[in-house]
Amino acid sequence: MARSRMPPAIFQDPDRLRAANINPVTGLATDYLNHYNEVAMLIGTLADMPDMAECVLDWRPVGYPTHFARTGFAERGLAIAGWLVVPRDVKAQFCAVRAELESRIADVQRRLATTLVPELVAGEAPAIFADIARLGGVINGGKGAPMLQQSAAQDLVDSLFA
Predicted confidence pLDDT, tens digits, the chain (162 residues): 444 454 555 567 888 888 999 999 899 999 999 999 999 999 999 999 999 999 999 999 999 999 999 999 999 999 999 999 899 999 999 999 999 999 999 999 999 999 888 888 999 999 999 999 999 999 999 744 444 444 444 544 454 445
Residues 122, 86: Cα–Cα separation, whole Å:
34
* pTM, full prediction: 0.80
- Counting beta carbons within 10 angstroms of the beta carbon of residue 104, is it exposed (0 to 12), middle (13 to 18) or buried (19 or more)? middle
User: How far apart, in Å, are the Cα atoms of 2 and each of 33, 83, 88, 127?
Assistant: 32, 19, 13, 40
The DSSP 8-state label assigned to residue 141 in this structure reads: T
